[in-house]
Structure 1
Amino acid sequence: MPKRRTAAATLAGALCLVTVSACGGTSHDTAGDKASSPAPHSGYPVTLTNCGQTETFTKAPSRVVVMNGASVAEVSTLLALGLGDRIVANEQTYGMSEVPGRAEAIKALPTGGIKLNDAYDIPREAMIGLRPDFVLSVTSYGFDSKNGFATRQQLRTVDANSYISPQGCDDDPSKMTVSDSYRLLRDMGKVFNVSDRAEKLIAASEKSIAEVSAKVRGERRPNVMVLFSNMSMGGNDFSSVVANGIINDILSKAGGANAFASATKTTFADLSKEKVAATDVDALVVISYNDPDPAAYAKQLLKEFPQWPAAKNNTYTVLSDSLYLGPSNDLAVAKIAKVLHPDRF
C-alpha cells in the first residue's frame, strides 16, 4: 500500500471511529481504555460469515491485532464495547474526536512494537510474531499477500480468526451507510459475547438519530460540500471532496444533501476550482485530520467562494471521527442538523 493509497483510504472513511464508555447507553459518553471481561456462558461457538469466509470462535479472543488501513472504526468499536484489554497491537490512530477522551484512549493502547511497512501497517512476519487470535482489517487489502500481509488462510494456520469490516470485501466504501456501523458493533458483540453492550449502543444511536431526523423532516435539504482540511489526493484543486459513502447517509439523516453526489460514483470526487465555484453550496463540512486549525481552512474556503450561500450565511462546521464507520455517527447527524436547520433546535 503506497503512501498515496493510505491517504485515499483515510479519506474514504472506512476510517471510521469511536471510543465510548463500555457500559454507557449513548455514544456521547466519555471514552476510556479500561475494559470489563464479559461473563462466561455457553454462547460459544460463534460463527460468522465474513466476506465469503466462515470464521468460528470457540471463545472470546484475547490477543487482538487491529490493522491500520487508515481507519479507527475497528479500534473505536472495540473500545466502545469495553474490550481494550484484549488488544495486543493497535495501529489505528486519528488524534482527534467528537467524543471526549477517545483520541487519548486510542493513543494509550499498545502498538506491539512493530516496525511498520511503507503502508504504515503490519507486515506478514511481524503479524505472525504477535501471536494473535483475532485480526481486524478495514478492507480485504490488509489480508492481501501481494501487499506483504498475512493472508486469512495463513492466520488460520496459527489459530487466528480474521475479520473484514462491512463494505470492505471489495475495498469500496462508496456504498457504506450508518447501518454498517451497527453491523460492525453487532458482529463484535457476538464475537466477544457482549451483544448486550452492542445493542445498547445501537439503540441509543438509533434513538438519537430518529429524534434529530424528526425535527428536520419536511425542511428544504441544503446542499452540503464535505471535504478534508488541507488535503490533496488528485490532480485538481479539490481532490478530497466526499461524493458518496456513509457521509451521504449521515447528511440525509441530518436533513441535508451532498452537493457533489453526482460528480462521481466513487467515494471521492477530484474537482476543478471552476466546478466547485459553479455549484451552489449552502453549507460546508470540513473533516479534520492532521490539521491543527481546520476552522481556518473552512473560513478560507468561504472567503474564496463568496458567491456560495454558505459564505453569505457563514454556514460551516468541523467534524472528525463521527463522520466515519464507527459507533458515534449520531454525533455527526446531530451537529450537522443543527448547522443546517438551527431554527429546529
Structure 2
Amino acid sequence: MPKKRPLAILLTGALCLITAGCAESSTTAASGKASASTDAEGEAASGYPVTIENCGRSETFTKAPSRVVVMNGGSVAEVSTLLALGLGDRIVSSQQGYGMSEVAGRAKAIKALPTGNIKLNEAYDIPREAMIGLRPDLVMAITTYGFEAKNGFATRDQLKDVSANSYVSPQGCDDNPAKMTISDSYKLLRDMGKVFNVSDRAEKLIADSEKSIAAVSAKVKGEKKPKVMVLFANMAMGSNEFSSVVSQGIVNDILAGAGGANAFASASKTTFADLSAEKVAATDVDAVVVISYNADDPTGYAKKLLKEFPQWPAAKNKTYTVLSDSMYLGPSNELAVDKVARMLHPDAF
C-alpha cells in the first residue's frame, strides 16, 4: 500500500493519541504490562459476556482476548491504547509503529512487540492466510479497509468463522477521519476497557486526560487564537507541493484546547488540504506543528519550512514544534494540547 493510504486513513483517526499524560508517563503505561493484582482482578471479574456495537455489527466477547492482532493502517492508536491499559502481553502481532512518541518509553515498547514474523502484502499489512494462521481472538483495524476482501485481507465474517472478534476504531466505519475529535480517543479507550474488563483503568486515563486538557484550556482562555499550520514531514498525500497539510479532524480539537486555530481549516472539507506553494505563501501562519511519521529529521523539515516562507509571523518568531502520536487518535491527546498551548501562549505558563 502506498504511503499515502495509511497516513490518510490514520490522520484523524489517529491524530491524537490520548496517551493520558499524567497516568501514562510511567514504565507500566509505556510497556503495557499491568501488575499481577490488576491482571487477576480483570480476569477473575464476572463481567462477561460483553457485547459492543461496532460498524453495525455486534461483537460478543465471552472472555478477555489473549491473542490480539493489531493491523497497520498508518496508525499507532490501537497499539498505544492497549499499552496504556496494560495489555501489551495480549498482543501476538502488531504491525504499527511510529518511530517516536511524546510518551516516555512508548516508541521503544511498540518496537519490542511481536510481529508474528509475517510477510506483509503490498498494502504493508497482514494478508488473509497469514492472519488466520496467527490464530487471533481479536483483530483491530483503524478502518474497514483492513477487513476488505478485495485488498487481500480476512473479512470480519471470515474471522468470526475462526472464533475471532474484530474491531474498527472510532470514525473508521465510514473511513472519514475528518469528523474525529478527542472524544473518539476516549471511546477507543472505553471500548477496550469493556472488552478486556479493565474499565477502571480506561476511566482513570480518560479522567486524567480531561482534567489535564481543562487545566490548559483555562490558562489560555480569552487569549487571541494564533493561526497554526499542521502538516506531516516529508509526506505526499496529493498532487500539490503541500498535500499533507491537515485541514479537518482531531487536530482542530487539539488546537482549540490549546488556544489556537487551524490556519487552513477552510481549505478543505476532508482531512487533508492539497495546497500549492502559492496558497500556502498567501496565508498568515503564526505557528507550525510538524507531525513526524517515521520521518528523518522532522525538526530540520520545520526549520526549512520557515526559511521558505519568511513572511510568516511563525518564521519571524521561530514558532514551531514537532509532535508525533499525541496529535491524533489514541491515548495521549492531552500531551499535544499542553505542548501546543505552551508554544502559542508561553506567558500563560
The TM tier, using the shorter chain, reads over 0.9
Query: Could you list the per-position Cα deviations for residues 3-45 of structure 1 after superposition, in whole angstroms to 9, with x for gaps in the alignment?
Result: 44234335x2423575969xx9623334114244224111111
Shift of 1:110: 0.6
Aligned residues: 342
The one-letter code of the counterpart of 2:311 is Q
Query: Could you list the per-position Cα deviations for residues 173-223 of structure 1 after superposition, in whole angstroms to 9, with x for gaps in the alignment?
Result: 000000000000000000000000000100000000000000001111110
The one-letter code of the counterpart of 2:31 is G
Is this contact kept in 2: 1:136–1:162, CA < 8 A? yes
| Structure 1 counterpart of 2:9 | 9
1:127 paired with 2:126, answer no
| Structure 1 counterpart of 2:23 | 26
Query: Given the two structures, how large is their TM-score scaled by the length of structure 1?
Result: 0.96
| Structure 2 counterpart of 1:82 | 86
Query: Could you list the per-position Cα deviations for residues 127-172 of structure 1 after superposition, in whole angstroms to 9, with x for gaps in the alignment?
Result: 1111111110000000111111111111111111110000000111
Please report the RMSD computed on the Cα atoms of aligned residues, expressed in angstroms: 1.6
Query: Could you list the per-position Cα deviations for residues 242-284 of structure 1 after superposition, in whole angstroms to 9, with x for gaps in the alignment?
Result: 0000000000000000000110100000100110010000101
Q: Which is further off, 227-236 or 174-183?
A: 227-236
Structure 1: state its 5+ residue gaps: none
One of 62, 68, 71 as aligned partner of 2:72: 68
Query: Given the two structures, how large is their TM-score scaled by the length of structure 2?
Result: 0.95
1:152 paired with 2:153, answer no
- Give the SS at the match of 2:126: coil
Is this contact kept in 1: 2:17–2:185, CA < 8 A? no
- Give the SS at the match of 1:114: coil
Is this contact kept in 1: 2:259–2:344, CA < 8 A? yes
Q: Identity across aligned pairs (percent)? A: 75
Is this contact kept in 2: 1:17–1:75, CA < 8 A? no
Query: Could you list the per-position Cα deviations for residues 58-87 of structure 1 after superposition, in whole angstroms to 9, with x for gaps in the alignment?
Result: 100011110111110000000000001111
- Give the SS at the match of 1:261: coil
- Give the SS at the match of 1:263: coil
Is this contact kept in 2: 1:17–1:76, CA < 8 A? no
| Structure 2 counterpart of 1:257 | 261
Is this contact kept in 2: 1:50–1:163, CA < 8 A? yes
Matches of 2:72 and 2:15, distance apart in 1: 11
Cα distance change, pair 17–245 in 1 and its aligned pair in 2 (3 A): closer
Structure 2: state its 5+ residue gaps: none
Is this contact kept in 1: 2:18–2:329, CA < 8 A? no
Is this contact kept in 1: 2:290–2:322, CA < 8 A? yes
1:311 paired with 2:315, answer yes
| Structure 2 counterpart of 1:177 | 181
Structure 1 segments of 4+ aligned residues over 6 angstroms from their partners:
none
Shift of 1:88: 0.7
- Give the SS at the match of 2:315: helix
One of 57, 65, 68 as aligned partner of 1:53: 57
- Give the SS at the match of 2:266: helix
Higher relative CO (CA 8 A, sep ≥ 6), structure 1 or 2? 2
Structure with a larger share of its residues in helix = 2
Matches of 1:150 and 1:2, distance apart in 2: 20
